Chains A and B, each alone.
Chain A
Amino acid sequence: MIRVEELEKHFGALHVLKGVSLEVQKGEVLVIIGPSGSGKSTLLRCINLLIEPDSGRVFLDGTQVNRRDIRPEWVRQQVGMVFQSFNLFAHLTALQNVTLGPIRVLGTDPTTAGAQGRKLLARVGLADKADAYPAQLSGGQQQRVAIARALAMNPKAMLFDEPTSALDPEYIREVLDAMAALARDGMTMIVVTHEMGFASEVAKRILFMDAGRIIEEGSPEEIFHSPKQERTRMFVGKILR
């Protein structure tokens, strides 16, 4: 479904991605862990072309999409993204947040988009918050609206960039539950997270990234309990504690 080959990215003199390759099958959940600054966010942003990689290839359904003749907007339409800081549109209600993409990008008529939007909000447990503005919602509720907003574009895959790390502890569960439900429904997902419980439960594979490279890959069991690389061991030790 998503394949990445030899991605390279520099920010000025900073070499952030040093030849990253990965592949995610349809319906699979891939978790990426790694220390701060290792390039996890940059990798996700290169996959939906929010950032243009310096070199390397990004494939969606077998088609290379980081090409001059493919509009990045078209790629982003098909790969949803959920951000650490929610980024809900502050001037719109929860429902308007969810319907803006379908109405303005897909050209869905507002009535249909509204009905779909309400269904999606119900799916993340927020049917009663349709008319609330982001500032009136808790962090967990905002993040669930953000998930519904991404789903409204009917994406082929979803990228999650530390979706729970800005949340107060009491709101983490509800967001992880929404994501787990999504995974059960067969959504293809790449998730940057340090929630080990979630990773063990939902992901088949985990990638450990450090300093712009994928250092180790394995099942949750392997990565969390018997990592091969010293750096993985040290990092896992830290997040376990």
Chain B
Amino acid sequence: MATTVAVPTRSSALRVRVSKTAIRGAEMAVGTILVILILQTVLRFNLLDEDLWKLYLPSFLDGIVLSLRYLGIILPLSVVIGFTIGWARISRFRTLSWPLSVFVDFFRGVPPIIVVIFAAVLGPSLLPARFQSQDIGIIIAALTLAMHSGAYQSEIFRAGFMSVPRGQLEAAQSLGMTNGAAMRFVVLPQALRLSIPPLANEFAVVIKDTSLLAIVGGFELFGSSFIFEQQILFSPGNQLSWIFVVWTAVALVYFVMTFAVTELLNAIDRRYHVKGLEAVTV
């Protein structure tokens, strides 16, 4: 059973991996186009309807830009929050563990939509009057979404840390490493690798959850499209099938963002994958 596996050189391995991502992307594109073609036929709309896009394009693009901005805040912040809490809960800072577990349980137990409403309404009132505005409310709501996801991610990172066997830390210590060095060079690299796949799932949820900001006035892609849709509905002479176009286009953008982010994490996972690492820790 002593298997000798040729370890590929770094450059050739990388080439294989890059093309894997490309293949996945191509497969996904073909599948998506097929689904859209079928939808178009059944529901009788044309995704590339010029008359509609003349009207819709500005809202669409503004929405995408705003979505990306929110994500640019929420995703990195949620990772920082999640990692910090996950780390703190397994580390020696036991005194912090109780309040942190309350934080985590709170955000896991409350629907994000309610959290967003409370944050946007109450958040600004906690600030001095000159800072109060709807924009501030939206930003606070976005930060709260980051906390919400951070709560979930803290459990992902905590599980990652806990699935590194205790013997790994002991072996590092037995070489004379300090706790810090053992963490950094032995435990952390393994814990992070184990956290990547569940993290990809969580990111997919976060991306879609940004649409919740629309209900408090954060008109990212979902919100701006919703407002536009209301205009079509109430303007005489517009075709109802345009509604399908709008929502198909919106869904497509969320899909692409989600696919891009999760595929990026998957690529990192493949890049740093170590044969047998999961097996050791099961």
Q: A residues within 8 Å of B by Cβ? A: 48, 50, 73-74, 76-78, 80-81, 83, 85, 87-91, 93, 100-101, 104-105, 131-138, 141, 146, 149-150, 153
List residues of chain A with CB within 8 A of the CB of B189: 91
Pair B193/A91 contact, Cβ less than 8 Å = yes
Rounded to whole angstroms, the CA-CA distance of A81 and B173 in the bound complex is 10
Q: Give the residue name and chain of the A residue nearest to B186 (CB).
A: A89
Rounded to whole angstroms, the CA-CA distance of A128 and B149 in the bound complex is 46
Pair B168/A137 contact, Cβ less than 8 Å = no
**Mind listing 5 A-B residue pairs with CB under 8 Å?**
A76-B173, A81-B174, A133-B274, A136-B275, A149-B175
Pair B277/A135 contact, Cβ less than 8 Å = yes
Given pairs A87-B167, A105-B175, 14 additional interface contacts (CB within 8 A): A50-B170, A74-B176, A76-B175, A87-B168, A87-B171, A88-B171, A100-B185, A101-B177, A131-B7, A132-B5, A135-B274, A136-B276, A149-B171, A153-B175
B171 CB contact (under 8 Å) in A73, A89, A104: A89
A101 CB contact (under 8 Å) in B3, B175, B193, B277: B175
Rounded to whole angstroms, the CA-CA distance of A90 and B281 in the bound complex is 9
B contacts with A, residue count (CB < 8 A) = 31
Rounded to whole angstroms, the CA-CA distance of A48 and B185 in the bound complex is 21
Rounded to whole angstroms, the CA-CA distance of A105 and B176 in the bound complex is 7
Rounded to whole angstroms, the CA-CA distance of A146 and B178 in the bound complex is 19
List residues of chain A with CB within 8 A of the CB of B33: none
Rounded to whole angstroms, the CA-CA distance of A89 and B167 in the bound complex is 9
Pair B280/A83 contact, Cβ less than 8 Å = no
Pair B4/A50 contact, Cβ less than 8 Å = no
B280 CB contact (under 8 Å) in A134, A150, A153: A134
Rounded to whole angstroms, the CA-CA distance of A150 and B177 in the bound complex is 12
Contact A132 B280, CB 8 Å, known A77-B175, A87-B171: no
Pair A91/B175 contact, Cβ less than 8 Å = no
